[in-house]
């Protein structure tokens, strides 16, 4: 999860840096930054939802396993 967050942050910083160094008017630059911010925010939300869904699946699996009765080994009858 930390890798994904770092990747998204790096992508956002790279996109903004590319826009700042590209020759364009102030209005166009602001428009491009807003567009890229919206795109990156959507990607971040999508990745967040994937992470939440994966975590929820793991929690559900653990809960299902806990609800199953434990299988105890059958002890041998003592022989007389």
* Residue carrying the six token digits 């790096």: 10
Report d(CA 38, CA 57) in Å as an integer.
Answer: 28
31 compared with 25, residue with greater pLDDT: 31
Q: Whole-model pTM above 0.75?
A: no
Residue 57's pLDDT band (cuts 50, 70, 90): very high
The dihedrals phi and psi of 62, each to the nearest 5 degrees, come to -65, -40
């Amino acid at each position: 999860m930390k890798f994904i967050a770092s990747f998204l942050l790096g992508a956002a910083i790279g996109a903004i840096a590319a826009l700042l160094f590209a020759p364009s008017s102030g209005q166009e630059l602001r428009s491009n930054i807003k567009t890229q911010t919206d795109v990156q925010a959507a990607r971040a939300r999508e990745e967040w939802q994937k992470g939440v869904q994966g975590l929820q699946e793991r929690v559900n699996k653990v809960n299902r396993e806990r609800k199953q009765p434990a299988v105890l080994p059958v002890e041998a009858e003592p022989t007389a």
